[in-house]
Amino acid sequence: MSSDQTFAVTEIRVSGPDAGPYGITAGPDGALWFTLVHQGRIGRITPGGELTSHPLDPASGGPTTITAGPDGALWFTEYRGHRIGRLTTGGEATAFPLPTPEAGPFGIAAGPDGALWFTETGADRIGRVTVDGEITEFPLPERGTFPSAIAAGPDDALWFTMNQANAIGRIGVDGDVTVHRLPSEGAAPVGITAGADGAMWFVEIGAGQIGRITPDGRIEEFPLPDRAARPHAIVAGPDGNCWFTEWGANRVGRITPGGRIDGYDLPTPSSEPHGIAAGPDGALWVALEIGALARLAPESAG
Protein backbone atom coordinates (compact mmCIF):
# COMPACT_ATOMS: atom_id res chain seq x y z
CA MET A 1 0.00 0.00 0.00
CA SER A 2 1.35 3.42 -0.91
CA SER A 3 2.32 5.91 1.78
CA ASP A 4 0.13 8.37 -0.18
CA GLN A 5 -2.98 6.32 0.67
CA THR A 6 -5.51 8.53 2.47
CA PHE A 7 -7.59 7.50 5.46
CA ALA A 8 -11.06 8.57 6.57
CA VAL A 9 -11.62 9.17 10.30
CA THR A 10 -14.78 8.17 12.17
CA GLU A 11 -15.53 8.17 15.89
CA ILE A 12 -17.45 5.49 17.81
CA ARG A 13 -18.77 6.10 21.32
CA VAL A 14 -17.92 3.12 23.59
CA SER A 15 -18.35 4.42 27.15
CA GLY A 16 -19.17 7.40 29.29
CA PRO A 17 -16.62 10.22 29.46
CA ASP A 18 -15.27 9.03 32.81
CA ALA A 19 -14.46 5.40 31.88
CA GLY A 20 -11.17 6.27 30.18
CA PRO A 21 -10.49 4.08 27.11
CA TYR A 22 -6.69 3.82 27.15
CA GLY A 23 -4.99 0.74 25.64
CA ILE A 24 -6.21 -1.16 22.58
CA THR A 25 -5.16 -4.25 20.64
CA ALA A 26 -6.41 -6.59 17.94
CA GLY A 27 -7.67 -9.82 19.47
CA PRO A 28 -7.44 -13.38 18.14
CA ASP A 29 -11.20 -13.36 17.46
CA GLY A 30 -11.30 -10.65 14.80
CA ALA A 31 -12.36 -7.95 17.30
CA LEU A 32 -10.62 -5.02 19.00
CA TRP A 33 -10.13 -5.18 22.76
CA PHE A 34 -9.51 -2.10 24.89
CA THR A 35 -9.02 -1.10 28.51
CA LEU A 36 -11.36 1.20 30.44
CA VAL A 37 -8.80 2.34 32.95
CA HIS A 38 -11.05 4.32 35.31
CA GLN A 39 -14.01 1.93 35.15
CA GLY A 40 -12.05 -1.30 35.68
CA ARG A 41 -13.43 -3.03 32.60
CA ILE A 42 -12.15 -4.53 29.37
CA GLY A 43 -14.14 -3.58 26.28
CA ARG A 44 -14.56 -5.43 23.00
CA ILE A 45 -15.79 -4.11 19.66
CA THR A 46 -16.12 -5.87 16.33
CA PRO A 47 -15.19 -4.02 13.13
CA GLY A 48 -18.94 -3.91 12.48
CA GLY A 49 -19.53 -2.01 15.72
CA GLU A 50 -20.89 -4.71 18.08
CA LEU A 51 -19.88 -3.61 21.57
CA THR A 52 -19.53 -5.58 24.82
CA SER A 53 -17.45 -5.16 28.00
CA HIS A 54 -16.27 -7.30 30.89
CA PRO A 55 -15.95 -6.11 34.52
CA LEU A 56 -12.79 -6.78 36.51
CA ASP A 57 -12.65 -7.59 40.22
CA PRO A 58 -11.77 -5.32 41.85
CA ALA A 59 -12.71 -2.46 39.53
CA SER A 60 -10.00 -0.25 41.03
CA GLY A 61 -6.98 -1.98 39.42
CA GLY A 62 -6.54 0.50 36.58
CA PRO A 63 -6.28 -1.76 33.50
CA THR A 64 -3.86 0.07 31.24
CA THR A 65 -2.24 -1.56 28.22
CA ILE A 66 -3.45 -4.76 26.57
CA THR A 67 -2.10 -7.29 24.07
CA ALA A 68 -3.03 -10.59 22.49
CA GLY A 69 -1.23 -13.51 24.12
CA PRO A 70 0.14 -16.67 22.52
CA ASP A 71 -2.59 -18.68 24.26
CA GLY A 72 -5.54 -17.07 22.47
CA ALA A 73 -6.37 -14.83 25.44
CA LEU A 74 -5.96 -11.10 26.10
CA TRP A 75 -3.34 -9.99 28.60
CA PHE A 76 -3.21 -6.60 30.28
CA THR A 77 -1.50 -4.62 33.02
CA GLU A 78 -3.28 -3.30 36.09
CA TYR A 79 -1.25 -0.23 36.90
CA ARG A 80 -2.93 0.59 40.20
CA GLY A 81 -3.62 -2.99 41.25
CA HIS A 82 -0.02 -4.14 40.57
CA ARG A 83 -1.25 -7.22 38.76
CA ILE A 84 -1.14 -8.81 35.34
CA GLY A 85 -4.57 -9.73 34.05
CA ARG A 86 -5.70 -12.39 31.60
CA LEU A 87 -9.08 -12.45 29.88
CA THR A 88 -10.35 -15.18 27.59
CA THR A 89 -12.38 -14.22 24.54
CA GLY A 90 -15.31 -15.77 26.38
CA GLY A 91 -14.93 -13.25 29.21
CA GLU A 92 -13.23 -15.35 31.93
CA ALA A 93 -10.79 -13.14 33.89
CA THR A 94 -7.77 -14.19 35.94
CA ALA A 95 -5.21 -11.97 37.71
CA PHE A 96 -1.62 -12.57 38.78
CA PRO A 97 -0.30 -10.30 41.57
CA LEU A 98 3.30 -9.15 41.15
CA PRO A 99 5.94 -10.17 43.70
CA THR A 100 7.31 -6.64 44.03
CA PRO A 101 5.09 -4.17 45.93
CA GLU A 102 4.00 -0.98 44.14
CA ALA A 103 5.50 -2.22 40.88
CA GLY A 104 3.17 -0.18 38.65
CA PRO A 105 3.05 -2.44 35.58
CA PHE A 106 2.39 -0.48 32.39
CA GLY A 107 3.51 -1.92 29.03
CA ILE A 108 2.98 -5.54 27.98
CA ALA A 109 3.89 -7.56 24.89
CA ALA A 110 4.07 -11.16 23.78
CA GLY A 111 7.67 -12.34 23.60
CA PRO A 112 9.38 -14.78 21.23
CA ASP A 113 9.53 -17.38 24.01
CA GLY A 114 5.78 -17.92 24.40
CA ALA A 115 5.56 -15.72 27.51
CA LEU A 116 4.32 -12.18 28.13
CA TRP A 117 6.81 -9.44 29.02
CA PHE A 118 5.91 -6.27 30.87
CA THR A 119 7.40 -3.15 32.41
CA GLU A 120 7.32 -2.19 36.09
CA THR A 121 7.40 1.62 36.17
CA GLY A 122 7.64 1.85 39.93
CA ALA A 123 10.23 -0.88 40.47
CA ASP A 124 12.72 -0.40 37.61
CA ARG A 125 12.19 -3.97 36.48
CA ILE A 126 11.12 -5.90 33.44
CA GLY A 127 8.75 -8.75 34.23
CA ARG A 128 7.96 -12.00 32.46
CA VAL A 129 4.84 -14.08 33.00
CA THR A 130 4.15 -17.47 31.48
CA VAL A 131 0.67 -18.31 30.24
CA ASP A 132 0.32 -20.37 33.43
CA GLY A 133 1.00 -17.30 35.57
CA GLU A 134 4.59 -17.93 36.67
CA ILE A 135 6.29 -14.54 37.12
CA THR A 136 9.99 -13.66 36.90
CA GLU A 137 11.38 -10.14 37.38
CA PHE A 138 14.61 -8.72 35.99
CA PRO A 139 16.05 -5.59 37.67
CA LEU A 140 17.36 -2.83 35.41
CA PRO A 141 20.92 -1.58 35.90
CA GLU A 142 19.72 1.89 36.99
CA ARG A 143 17.13 3.35 39.33
CA GLY A 144 14.45 5.92 38.53
CA THR A 145 14.20 4.96 34.85
CA PHE A 146 10.38 4.50 34.66
CA PRO A 147 10.33 1.72 32.05
CA SER A 148 7.14 2.29 30.06
CA ALA A 149 6.11 0.62 26.79
CA ILE A 150 7.58 -2.67 25.54
CA ALA A 151 7.50 -4.50 22.20
CA ALA A 152 9.02 -7.59 20.64
CA GLY A 153 11.83 -6.84 18.22
CA PRO A 154 13.06 -8.57 15.06
CA ASP A 155 16.06 -9.94 16.98
CA ASP A 156 14.24 -12.30 19.39
CA ALA A 157 14.51 -9.71 22.17
CA LEU A 158 12.17 -7.23 23.83
CA TRP A 159 12.68 -3.49 23.45
CA PHE A 160 11.33 -0.96 25.91
CA THR A 161 11.32 2.76 26.58
CA MET A 162 13.02 4.16 29.68
CA ASN A 163 10.95 7.29 30.07
CA GLN A 164 12.94 8.99 32.83
CA ALA A 165 16.37 7.73 31.76
CA ASN A 166 16.14 9.20 28.26
CA ALA A 167 16.98 5.82 26.81
CA ILE A 168 15.77 2.73 24.99
CA GLY A 169 16.39 -0.63 26.62
CA ARG A 170 16.76 -4.09 25.16
CA ILE A 171 16.29 -7.29 27.14
CA GLY A 172 17.05 -10.77 25.85
CA VAL A 173 14.92 -13.72 26.87
CA ASP A 174 17.84 -14.61 29.17
CA GLY A 175 17.34 -11.34 31.06
CA ASP A 176 20.45 -9.60 29.73
CA VAL A 177 19.81 -5.83 29.45
CA THR A 178 21.42 -3.27 27.13
CA VAL A 179 20.73 0.48 27.41
CA HIS A 180 20.88 2.89 24.46
CA ARG A 181 20.95 6.62 25.33
CA LEU A 182 18.93 9.03 23.22
CA PRO A 183 20.60 12.06 21.63
CA SER A 184 17.87 14.52 22.68
CA GLU A 185 17.70 15.65 26.30
CA GLY A 186 14.28 15.36 27.91
CA ALA A 187 12.95 13.09 25.16
CA ALA A 188 10.88 11.03 27.65
CA PRO A 189 10.13 8.11 25.29
CA VAL A 190 6.84 6.24 25.77
CA GLY A 191 5.38 4.07 22.99
CA ILE A 192 7.49 1.64 20.95
CA THR A 193 6.79 -0.79 18.10
CA ALA A 194 8.60 -2.97 15.57
CA GLY A 195 8.49 -1.31 12.16
CA ALA A 196 8.22 -2.96 8.76
CA ASP A 197 11.83 -1.94 8.06
CA GLY A 198 13.43 -4.16 10.71
CA ALA A 199 13.95 -1.32 13.20
CA MET A 200 12.13 -0.28 16.36
CA TRP A 201 10.18 2.99 16.24
CA PHE A 202 9.29 4.99 19.34
CA VAL A 203 7.75 8.29 20.37
CA GLU A 204 9.41 11.04 22.41
CA ILE A 205 6.59 12.71 24.32
CA GLY A 206 8.93 15.26 25.88
CA ALA A 207 10.79 16.31 22.73
CA GLY A 208 7.98 16.09 20.17
CA GLN A 209 9.87 13.63 18.02
CA ILE A 210 9.64 10.13 16.57
CA GLY A 211 12.71 7.94 17.08
CA ARG A 212 14.08 4.92 15.24
CA ILE A 213 16.64 2.45 16.56
CA THR A 214 18.17 -0.45 14.66
CA PRO A 215 18.94 -3.78 16.35
CA ASP A 216 22.61 -2.75 16.54
CA GLY A 217 21.73 0.46 18.38
CA ARG A 218 21.88 3.17 15.70
CA ILE A 219 19.41 5.94 16.53
CA GLU A 220 17.68 8.53 14.35
CA GLU A 221 15.21 11.17 15.50
CA PHE A 222 12.53 12.90 13.41
CA PRO A 223 11.05 16.17 14.78
CA LEU A 224 7.29 16.53 14.46
CA PRO A 225 5.90 19.62 12.72
CA ASP A 226 4.25 20.42 16.07
CA ARG A 227 6.88 19.85 18.74
CA ALA A 228 4.23 20.31 21.47
CA ALA A 229 2.08 17.44 20.12
CA ARG A 230 2.96 15.04 22.98
CA PRO A 231 3.21 11.79 20.95
CA HIS A 232 2.18 8.88 23.14
CA ALA A 233 1.65 5.46 21.48
CA ILE A 234 2.87 4.01 18.18
CA VAL A 235 2.09 0.96 16.03
CA ALA A 236 3.14 -0.48 12.68
CA GLY A 237 0.30 0.07 10.22
CA PRO A 238 -1.03 -2.00 7.32
CA ASP A 239 0.48 0.49 4.86
CA GLY A 240 4.10 -0.18 5.85
CA ASN A 241 4.31 3.02 7.88
CA CYS A 242 4.16 3.64 11.63
CA TRP A 243 1.18 5.42 13.14
CA PHE A 244 1.20 7.31 16.43
CA THR A 245 -1.14 9.28 18.68
CA GLU A 246 -0.54 12.96 19.39
CA TRP A 247 -2.14 13.37 22.79
CA GLY A 248 -1.47 17.10 22.98
CA ALA A 249 -2.54 17.91 19.41
CA ASN A 250 -5.71 15.80 19.04
CA ARG A 251 -4.23 14.09 16.02
CA VAL A 252 -3.06 10.73 14.70
CA GLY A 253 0.29 10.96 12.93
CA ARG A 254 1.95 8.77 10.33
CA ILE A 255 5.66 8.41 9.59
CA THR A 256 7.13 6.59 6.61
CA PRO A 257 10.28 4.44 6.90
CA GLY A 258 12.12 7.37 5.30
CA GLY A 259 10.93 9.82 7.95
CA ARG A 260 8.17 11.71 6.14
CA ILE A 261 5.46 12.78 8.60
CA ASP A 262 1.80 13.63 8.07
CA GLY A 263 -1.36 13.16 10.07
CA TYR A 264 -5.10 13.29 10.59
CA ASP A 265 -7.02 15.55 12.96
CA LEU A 266 -9.59 13.84 15.19
CA PRO A 267 -13.25 14.89 14.97
CA THR A 268 -13.85 15.82 18.62
CA PRO A 269 -11.64 18.52 20.20
CA SER A 270 -9.48 17.47 23.17
CA SER A 271 -10.37 13.79 22.73
CA GLU A 272 -7.10 12.66 24.39
CA PRO A 273 -5.89 9.92 22.02
CA HIS A 274 -3.80 7.26 23.76
CA GLY A 275 -3.49 3.64 22.57
CA ILE A 276 -3.45 2.72 18.89
CA ALA A 277 -3.74 -0.65 17.13
CA ALA A 278 -3.94 -2.04 13.63
CA GLY A 279 -7.30 -3.76 13.25
CA PRO A 280 -8.21 -6.92 11.31
CA ASP A 281 -10.22 -4.72 8.94
CA GLY A 282 -7.21 -2.84 7.55
CA ALA A 283 -8.03 0.22 9.67
CA LEU A 284 -6.19 1.90 12.56
CA TRP A 285 -8.11 2.04 15.83
CA VAL A 286 -7.39 4.63 18.52
CA ALA A 287 -8.56 4.75 22.14
CA LEU A 288 -9.84 8.22 23.08
CA GLU A 289 -10.03 8.98 26.80
CA ILE A 290 -13.27 10.95 26.29
CA GLY A 291 -15.08 7.61 25.95
CA ALA A 292 -14.73 6.76 22.28
CA LEU A 293 -12.65 4.95 19.69
CA ALA A 294 -11.47 6.55 16.46
CA ARG A 295 -11.25 4.44 13.32
CA LEU A 296 -8.98 5.47 10.45
CA ALA A 297 -9.96 3.49 7.39
CA PRO A 298 -8.19 3.58 4.02
CA GLU A 299 -10.13 5.35 1.31
CA SER A 300 -10.37 3.69 -2.07
CA ALA A 301 -8.78 5.51 -4.98
CA GLY A 302 -11.27 7.11 -7.32
| 274 is annotated as an active-site residue | yes
Sequence letter at residue 232: H
246 among annotated binding-site residues: no
180 among annotated binding-site residues: no
Residue 251 DSSP SS3: strand
Residue among 38, 54, 82, 274 flagged as catalytic: 274
Residue 136 DSSP SS3: strand
Q: Is 154 left (phi over 0), alpha (psi -120 to 50) or beta?
A: alpha
List CB contacts of 218: < 8 A, sequence separation 6 or more. none
Question: Which is nearest to 163 in space by CA: 192, 134, 139?
Answer: 192
Q: Measure the CA–CA gap between 111 and 142, rounded to whole angstroms.
A: 23
Strand order in the sheet with 231-236: 231-236, 242-246, 251-255, 261-265
What residue numbers does the annotated binding site for Mg(2+) cover? 272, 289
The set of catalytic residues is 274
